């Protein structure tokens, strides 16, 4: 089966096109360029979902920056956060006295982001902010500030542009809503 047939089978509708995403990256990149002028931020991408957003966003940021990655997990194989966030793979860089900018694909309960922000603050970062592509605000269970985001989204499960379903479909170039029956089939 061709990749496009497979995608049509699982996507209910497109939420953000490639042009929409490019516009988000340009807008956020311009804002971050202004706000981090004269600073040397350490941009930390949250693996694996944020990789597509990070590579496009950082190319729109005209600042002297360094990159690192952290892999944290709270979902296991499921769709509901277990509530327990664990470091799967840590950053290699010392964050002490650094201006840290966490880049995330999506914030849902907020637990993953809060964990990372608290971690880098505890390690002595000078500042810790985040830039998130999608803000699923209605699902929040913890209070966490989101300094920059591309767009709000409703309570729907989205895939593509880095975001997965069972670690698949990250390479769909746009963001689409997963058909509810696909999730139901998996949950049963
Ligand atoms: O706000 P929360 O409820 O904590 O959920 C958001 C997190 O869930 C996803 O990651 P996931 O653990 O699925 O890993 P992935 O990035 O490898 O897809 C996403 O990339 C965020 O990190
Ligand atoms: N792929 C994906 N991961 C998530 N993690 C939390 N919410 C979502 C979502 O809507 N899609």
Q: What is the pLDDT of residue 188?
A: 60
Determine the residue of 52, 132, 136, 155 to mutate for testing ligand 2's pocket, defined as the one with the most ligand atoms within 8 A of the Cβ atom: 136
- Per-residue model confidence (pLDDT) at position 176: 98
Residue pLDDT, tens place only, 150-169? 999 999 999 999 999 999 99
Cα–Cα distance, 30 to 61 (Å, whole number): 6
Task: Check the CA dihedral 131-157-48-111 and report its sign.
Answer: positive
**Summary mean pLDDT of the chain:** 94
* pTM of the model as a whole: 0.95
Residue 1: what pLDDT?
45
**Rounded Cα distance, 61 and 92, in Å:** 22
The finding on whether 56 has its CB within 6 A of some atom of ligand 1 is no
DSSP one-letter code for 155: S
Tell me the average pLDDT across 113-119: 98
Query: What are the boundaries of each domain within the chain?
Result: 17-153
How much is the pLDDT for 76? 62
Does residue 141 surpass a pLDDT of 60? yes
Cα angle: 30, vertex 101, 38; to 5 degrees: 60
Any idea what the Cα angle at residue 78 is, between residues 77 and 79, rounded to 5°? 140
Predicted pLDDT of residue 162? 98
Per-residue confidence (pLDDT) for residue 183, from 0 to 100 = 87
Distance 127 CA to ligand 2 centre (A): 27
Gap between the Cα atoms of 33 and 64, Å rounded: 10
Q: Give the Å distance between the CA of 61 and the centre of ligand 2.
A: 25
pLDDT at 86: 94
Q: Do 108 and 49 form a contact (C-beta atoms < 8 A)?
A: no
- CATH number for the domain running over 17-153: 3.40.50.2020
pLDDT computed for residue 187 by the predictor = 72
Answer whether 183's CB lies under 8 Å from 167's CB. no
Q: Are 105 and 161 in contact (CB under 8 A)?
A: yes
Q: Give the pLDDT of residue 78.
A: 60
Express each pLDDT in 65-97 by its tens digit: 999 999 998 866 566 667 789 999 999 999 999
- pLDDT of res. 75: 67
Output the six-digit token pair for 90: 């840590």
pLDDT band at 63 (very low <50, low <70, confident <90, very high): very high
108 catalytic residue (yes or no) = yes
Beta-ladder partners of 149: 132
């Amino acid at each position: 089966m061709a990749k496009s047939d497979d995608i049509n089978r699982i996507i209910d509708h497109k939420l953000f096109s490639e042009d929409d995403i490019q516009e988000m990256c340009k807008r956020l990149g311009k804002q971050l360029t202004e706000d981090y002028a004269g600073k040397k931020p350490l941009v930390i991408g949250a693996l694996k979902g944020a990789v597509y957003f990070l590579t496009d966003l950082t190319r729109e940021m005209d600042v002297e920056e360094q990159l690192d990655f952290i892999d944290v997990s709270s979902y296991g194989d499921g769709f509901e956060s277990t509530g327990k966030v664990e470091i799967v793979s840590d950053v290699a860089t010392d964050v002490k006295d650094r201006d840290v900018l966490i880049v995330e694909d999506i914030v849902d309960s907020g637990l993953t982001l809060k964990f990372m922000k608290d971690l880098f603050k505890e390690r002595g970062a000078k500042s810790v902010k985040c830039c998130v592509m999608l803000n699923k605000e209605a699902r929040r269970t913890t209070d966490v500030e989101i300094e920059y985001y591309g767009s709000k989204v409703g309570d729907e499960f989205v895939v593509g542009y880095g975001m997965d379903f069972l670690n698949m479909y990250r390479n769909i170039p746009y963001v689409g809503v997963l058909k509810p029956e696909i999730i139901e089939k998996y949950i049963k």
